[in-house]
Chain A
Amino acid sequence: MTGPATTAARKATARAAGAQRTLVGLIGVLGLGAGVAALVVGSGLLGADRAARPVLDPVALNTLSAHQSLARAAAVAAGVALLVAGLIWAARAIKPEHRPNLLLDPRSTSRLEISASAIADALRADAETIPGVNRVRARTVGRTATPVLRLTLWLEDGANVRDVYHDLDTGVLTRARDSLGIESLPAAIRLELDAATPARVT
């Protein structure tokens, strides 16, 4: 069964990196193509006379000079486009992950919103009472329209994973749904098995 809530939960197990991977991969492919093309030309595979031509070919420079205004305008436009695209890329990569507040009953005229940190704190405190759980980190992720809960649980040595499962599903998450009055709360849960008690920063 793969409904939209399941897909949302599936995606929320870790911060999405698809766009970053695509961009880095694209730069890599372009660089690899340019590098290999230069090597092929230089090795003389496209003709010995081609390999002996200068890198900045006079023929190409003459063509550019013949259409100087057009070449300059195109270069400026390309430069500005790269500047804007690069800045957007860097800003998106640095931006912290969105932590949506929970909007209760969006149909009503009054607006009832629970802050992301309030939900996270309440769920963390509740999940830390499960036997065998050392430490919990909770946050809301995803879009405001479809928030997903991301829970990371550090389990102590010898904790029974199936018991933790049961307590999470029938206890913590059910209580959260009931107290918030919502029918579904997609959740992505990450278990760190056999984790030593972490040193608390004091």
Chain B
Amino acid sequence: MRTLLRVLSPLLGLVVAALGAFVAVEVVNAWVRPAAGALVLPWPAWQATLQGWAWSAAPVRLIAAGLSVGALLLVVLALRAGRREVRLINPAPAITVTTSPRSLARLVAHQVRELDHVAAASVTATPRKVSVRAASREPADTATPDIAATVHTLLSELPLAHTPQVSVVVRNTEIPA
């Protein structure tokens, strides 16, 4: 999300600048040379079209709906482009230490896959919650506490500022006899 914001933000700035330049140039042109017509874009034709369309016309509604959806995506992007980081304990007042949720998930997944009975595991992590989905050769009711204990041990060894909740979902790979 943050990368997308970094790409989109200067482009939007350029769009705003281009819009401003277009308005200024066309208005000055129409003012100074009233008979010359449009300079860059055929805005008199757009004017005629907009005079012909009522607010309830289908094209107006479609454009308005498209604008709303696009603008909503921008709002979502702006809201979700915050920092994604897991805070660790600060070793000294002026030193902050963080890690990425992805990196924490990778570490947990690695540890869970080391267990003998685990065939596969996928992990997602946020600063508040670590979710493990694992496939085990053991029944879920014995595998789940084992995996949860492993994850808890690992998390307690890390100097995390807040210990996240752990959720484990186990799927049994053995076909019942």
Determine the distance from Cα of A43 to Cα of B58 in the docked complex, in whole angstroms.
10
Closest chain A CB from B65 CB (angstroms): 6
The reply to whether the CB of B39 lies closer than 8 angstroms to some CB of chain A is: no
Tell me, yes or no, whether A122 is within 8 Å of chain B by CB: no
When the two chains form the complex, which single residue of A1, A72, A81, A86 contacts B31, counting CB atoms closer than 8 Å?
A72
Q: Which residue of the partner chain B has the closest CB to A39?
A: B64
Are B13 and A192 within 8 A (Cβ)?
no
Chain B residues whose C-beta falls within 8 Å of the C-beta of A12 in the assembled complex: 96
- A195 contacts which of B47, B70, B103, B157 (Cβ < 8 Å)? B103
A29, B21: Cβ atoms under 8 Å? no
Interface residue A5 (Cβ < 8 Å from any Cβ of B): yes
Q: Does A101 contact B (CB under 8 A)?
A: no
Which chain B residues border A81 with CB–CB below 8 Å? 20
Cβ–Cβ contact B81 & A21, under 8 A = yes
Interface residues on B, range: 35 or more
Interface size on A, residues (CB 8 A): 79
Q: A76 vs B50: C-alpha distance in the bound complex, in angstroms?
A: 21
Answer yes or no: A187 CB below 8 A from chain B CBs: yes
**Residues A189 and B97 in contact, CB atoms below 8 Å apart:** yes
CB of B19 closer than 8 Å to a CB of A: yes
With known contacts A28-B78, A51-B55, A82-B23, A184–B61 Cβ distance under 8 A: no
From B84-92, B127-135, B141-149, the one touching the partner chain is B84-92
A112 on the B face (CB < 8 A)? no
> Which residue in B5, B61, B97 is a CB contact (below 8 Å) of A165?
B97
Do most interface residues of chain B lie in helix, strand or loop, or is the interface mixed?
helix
Say yes or no for A125: interface residue by CB 8 A criterion.
no
Would you call B95 and A186 a contact (CB within 8 A)? yes
Considering only residues 74-104 of chain B, those with a C-beta below 8 Å from chain A are 74-79, 81-83, 85, 88, 90-100, 103-104
Q: Is the CB of A23 within 8 A of B9?
A: yes
Asked if A56 CB lies within 8 Å of chain B CBs, one says: yes
**A193 close to B94 (CB less than 8 A):** no
A55 and B90 CA atoms in complex are apart in Å by 59
The docked-state distance in angstroms from the alpha carbon of A66 to that of B100 is: 60
CA of A168 to CA of B90, assembled, Å? 12
Is the Cβ of B17 less than 8 Å from the Cβ of A24?
A: no
Determine whether A70 belongs to the interface, using a CB cutoff of 8 Å to chain B.
Answer: no
Write the B8-35 contact mask toward A (1 if CB under 8 angstroms, else 0): 1111111111111111110110110000
Shortest Cβ gap from B70 to chain A (Å)? 7
Chain B residue nearest to A90 (CB atoms) is B13
Query: Which of A's residues lie within 8 Å of B, judged by CB?
Result: 1, 3, 5-6, 8-10, 12-14, 17, 20-25, 27-32, 34-36, 38-39, 41-44, 50-56, 58, 72, 75-76, 78-91, 93-94, 157, 161-162, 165-166, 168-169, 173, 184-195
Which 3 residue pairs are nearest across A and B when measured between Cβ atoms?
Answer: A82-B20, A86-B17, A31-B71
A–B pairs, 13, beta carbons within 8 Å: A6-B96, A20-B81, A21-B82, A24-B8, A38-B63, A42-B56, A42-B57, A55-B57, A56-B50, A76-B28, A82-B16, A193-B158, A194-B107
Contacts A5-B93, A83-B20, A89-B9 aside, 20 further interface pairs with beta carbons under 8 A come to A6-B93, A14-B83, A23-B12, A43-B61, A51-B55, A52-B55, A55-B51, A55-B55, A76-B27, A79-B22, A81-B20, A87-B14, A89-B10, A162-B159, A188-B96, A189-B95, A191-B88, A191-B97, A191-B99, A193-B107
